[in-house]
């Protein structure tokens, strides 16, 4: 059965880049959310195997969304994304249950290594 991955970022080009990287590697069920609130809602609908989520977003940031998702599903696999210089936010995310983090700008091989470590190969 295909693994479901939800990618969350308020920047459409970032979601597209992550989605393109994953689909080229063979992951077929890749979904998108535009902010934290959308991510929490879609998590409830899709029950994805992995969430790749930006920390800094409008409406509900990634840390709030991470906590809301983990409250619904303590076993949720969430990987946070952050720009350089957001180390304290990354540490908060890890303490709140994030499995890993990826620093922007993204390198496709880093995304794939993180995803395959958590989910295995597509």
Domain ranges of the chain: 49-122
Kind of pairing between the strands at 50-54 and 78-82: parallel
Token match 């934290």: residue? Answer: 36
Query: At 1, is the pLDDT very low, low, confident or very high (cuts 50, 70, 90)?
Result: low
Q: Could you tell me the two tokens for 87?
A: 């180390």
Q: If you count them, how many residues does the chain have? A: 122
- Rg of the Cα atoms in the chain: 13
Fold annotation for 49-122: Rossmann fold (3.40.50)
Model confidence pLDDT, tens digit, residues 8-60: 999 999 999 999 999 999 999 999 999 999 999 999 999 999 999 999 999 99
């Amino acid at each position: 059965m295909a693994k479901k991955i939800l990618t969350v970022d308020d920047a459409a080009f970032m979601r597209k880049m992550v989605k393109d990287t994953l689909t080229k590697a063979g992951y077929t069920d890749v979904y998108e959310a535009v902010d934290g609130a959308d991510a929490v809602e879609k998590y409830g609908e899709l029950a994805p195997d992995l969430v790749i989520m930006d920390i800094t977003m409008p409406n509900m940031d990634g840390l709030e969304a991470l906590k809301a998702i983990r409250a619904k599903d303590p076993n949720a696999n969430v990987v946070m994304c952050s720009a350089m210089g957001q180390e304290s936010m990354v540490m908060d995310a890890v303490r709140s249950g994030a499995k890993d983090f990826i620093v922007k700008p993204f390198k496709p091989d880093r995304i794939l290594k993180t995803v395959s470590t958590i989910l295995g190969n597509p």
